[in-house]
Chain A
Amino acid sequence: MSRKTLRMTLPTQLVLGELIADPTRRIHGFELCAATGLLSGTVYPILLRLEERGWLESQWEEPEVHVPAGRPRRRYYRLTEDGAAGARTALRAAEASRLRAATGLRTAGA
């Protein structure tokens, strides 16, 4: 799976768009669901795919943070350098193809 190209589904684009807004930011799953409006059942497979692809890295929250907060540790995701570059390219390409489709439709309709 990791060897094949990443399918740029709309949810994947939404996730990447959210992450690329601040490429150094780390984010946990629920935060991402809330920000993108995607279902949690959709977000985790996407995160897994992006991580397998090397676009994301994930880390457990440090004990200094979650122990005083009195909850289990969160898993945080962050874009890698590859991921940030790949995401920019992929999002631009997706944008371009959307534009093409839109203008194509308009000329066809006119």
Chain B
Amino acid sequence: MTANSQHSLAEPLLAQLSGRFSPEELDQVRHAYEVAARWHEGQWRKSGDRYITHPVAVAEAAAAAGLDCTMVCAALLHDVLEDTACEAGQLRAEFGGEVADLVERLTTFPDPADAPDDRVITLKLLDRLHNMRTIQYIDADKQLSKSHDTLELLVPHARRLGLPVIANELQEMARHRLEVLGGEAGGGITATLCALRLGALTLPAAARIRYLEEWAAELRAPADRRGRRRFAWQLIWGLPRLSFMLRWRQWDDHHARIARHMAASRLASSGRKALRWILRSEIRPWALLAPLTAWIVMQTAQGNAGSAVATVITLPPVLAAAVRWLRDRLGMTRRHHDDPR
């Protein structure tokens, strides 16, 4: 049962390689998977997945990048020396010197005594790519150090090796992580950046992202903590003004102005249309005005019956005059058989 489900984990990888690798090579990949799965048995990723899912993901990335059988096998076995009791001699005996060598050098990377090998670095990049994709599950301080290490060490390597897609993804993920965690721990940057971030809530969203990124870099420019604090507080003090300018610009923007104008004229024209529709008939104006008249009369009648009668007599002609005036204004005056009222 276990063997079965373990086997299925490597199936997508084997399927991915089946066209390109010879049957012997596929056998070797399968064997590397089985050995790795045996050594990592009972180990788990912080994400809750079985540990073997990680080497498999790295091997799949290696396969997708078009790397050879040695590299795919090394990817599958890349953590057995570091995280299990497996020894280099055993790897050497089963998979040959090349695979064992790669895994060994990857385990000690970056080793100042070891001239960096591009194949080792490539494996390291694929390893980090998967680790960064699942980084949210590890401790915050480890996330920080991994992200810095990624930006400082691995992204330049990826660019040097001509792997811009990997370089960009690594860079984005590491930057995003640092951003989420609020910059470097210590040095007062975290707290200051938090205050700035709160203050920046008044800025329009798009501008906020741009300025926060800009200021995160600027906060590293002052020599000391006091300088940083001062810089940040001055910024916060100036935020209302900046916010006003940005929002005014949005409001004042040429296109926004046209859009507002059009919305207003649309509203006005539909209002006019409705008014014309009402005024076109004899009944519709009075259907609206009669309840109003009745209400006014009732209100007046509560105080004084005489005034109510006066209202009944005077109000309808006034309203009728108003309706006629409106029709005139809108150019809807009827010809002869006009309303006698």
Contacts and interface: CB of A to CB of B under 8 A. Distances in A.
B6 to A, nearest CB: 39
A31 B246 CA distance: 23
B231 A40 contact: yes
B217 A71 contact: yes
B148 interface: yes
A44 B211 contact: yes
How would you classify the secondary structure of chain A's contact residues: helix, strand, loop or mixed?
A: helix
Interface stretch (A13-21, A45-53, A82-90, A100-108): A45-53
B152 interface: yes
Contacts of A73: 213, 217
Interface string B189-219: 0000000000000000000001101111110
B311 to A, nearest CB: 54
Contacts of A44: 211, 235, 238, 242
Interface residues of B, number: 37
Interface size bracket, A side? 20 to 34
A41 interface: yes
A109 interface: no
A66 B156 contact: no
A40 B211 CA distance: 12
A63 interface: yes
B241 interface: yes
14 contacts: A2-B249, A28-B221, A29-B214, A29-B218, A33-B234, A39-B234, A41-B234, A44-B235, A48-B245, A64-B159, A67-B156, A70-B152, A71-B217, A75-B217
Given A44-B242, A72-B183, 6 more contacts: A28-B218, A39-B234, A64-B159, A72-B175, A75-B213, A75-B217
